[in-house]
């Protein structure tokens, strides 16, 4: 791996790990930057929190692959609003990608694994509901 790619990989991983720690809490009375996605209502609370702290870093709060970490990643993160992709992937494939990461399923190595979710069906189902909720209506 050349030094530019290595630096980029380190930057992306740093952003991913920073997202795990969260940031300063938003005051309850502060207006939201964007309206919540309709899917946010369908997932359970833990799944919603994980999506906001982990997934939205790259996939964005809109689910369109436009999160703050997306600028440094090539290939760009998946847009969950892509109807063709939604139709082509099973819930089980989404679970596997979340748990084992992108490289394990032939996708981007920048998609980090979340092995702590292995066997946590309720959270994986909640995350999948959120992801499925970004379908273009």
Q: DSSP assignment of 9-51, as one string?
A: HHHHHHHHHHHHH--SPPPTTSPPSSPPPGGGGTS-HHHHHHI
**Please, which pLDDT band fits residue 43 given cuts at 50, 70 and 90?**
low
pLDDT confidence of residue 73: 93
- Read off the pLDDT of residues 86-130 as tens digits, 9 standing for 90 and up: 999 999 999 999 999 999 999 999 999 999 999 999 999 999 999
DSSP state of 72: G
- Rounded distance between C-alpha atoms, residue 17 and residue 11, angstroms: 10
Q: How many CB atoms lie within 10 A of CB 49?
A: 14
The pTM score is: 0.69
Q: What is the mean pLDDT of residues 30-55?
A: 68
- Residue ranges per structural domain of the chain: 3-21+38-132
CB 72 within 8 A of CB 7: no
Look at domain 3-21+38-132 and name its CATH class. Answer: mainly alpha
Mean pLDDT across the chain: 77
């Amino acid at each position: 791996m050349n030094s530019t790619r290595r630096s980029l990989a380190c930057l992306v991983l740093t952003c991913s790990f920073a997202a795990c720690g969260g940031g300063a809490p938003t005051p309850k009375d502060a207006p939201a930057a964007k309206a919540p996605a309709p899917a946010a209502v369908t997932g359970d609370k833990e799944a919603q929190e994980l999506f906001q702290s982990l997934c939205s870093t790259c996939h964005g709060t809109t689910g369109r692959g436009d999160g703050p970490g997306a600028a440094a990643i090539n290939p760009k993160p998946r847009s969950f609003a892509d109807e063709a992709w939604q139709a082509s992937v099973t819930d089980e494939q989404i679970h596997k990608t979340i748990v084992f990461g992108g490289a394990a399923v032939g996708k981007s190595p920048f998609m980090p694994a979340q092995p702590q979710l292995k066997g946590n069906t309720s959270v994986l189902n909640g995350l999948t509901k959120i992801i499925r909720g970004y379908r273009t209506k």
